[in-house]
Amino acid sequence: MKEKISVVILVYNNKGELALQLRAHNDKSYPLHWDFSAAGGINKEEDHKAAALRELKEEIGIDSLLEYTGEELYTDELCTDQLYIYKTTHNGPFTPDSVEVEEVRFFNKEQIEEMLKLGDKFHPEFPFVWNKGIIF
């Protein structure tokens, strides 16, 4: 099985709230699902920091200094999906790419917990990372 290596970027505002993106309604995978602030695959011959900066700019339209958390997670026991986690602070505004992103909105920890509890649609990697305690 081919390993998929991706980056995840968590964007917080000065209140400590996390920006989540709602994936575009016509997205080929997980349309209208809440997702990380930005995320995506690493291109050939691209390091994970360069991929994180590219995805941040492409998806929500910001350039920001990123802090690598040191987290490298494998999303299943077969180690097929590896995630590099980055964090940054930005208060907006965002200019989301309408092909990929419907909207970007800040949520506090309690709001996200409630959304997960109520069964709101999330990209499957989000609850996995959430349950690891890395996000808040």
Alpha helices for 1-136 (secondary structure H) = 48-60, 109-118, 125-131
Domains contained in the chain, number: 1
Residue 51 lies in a domain: yes
What SS3 state is found at 112? helix
Residue 136 lies in a domain: no
CA distance linking residue 45 with residue 55, whole number of Å: 15
Which structural domain, as residue segments, surrounds residue 92?
Answer: 4-131
Residue 31 lies in a domain: yes
The tens-digit pLDDT sequence of the chain (136 residues) is 456 889 999 999 999 999 999 999 999 999 999 999 999 999 999 999 999 999 999 999 999 989 998 877 777 655 557 899 999 999 999 999 999 999 999 999 999 999 999 999 999 999 999 999 999 9
Please give the model's pTM, rounded to 2 decimal places.
Answer: 0.92
- Mark residue 133 as left, alpha or beta (left: phi above 0; alpha: psi -120 to 50; beta: remaining): left
For position 88, which CATH number holds? 3.90.79.10
CA distance linking residue 27 with residue 100, whole number of Å: 6
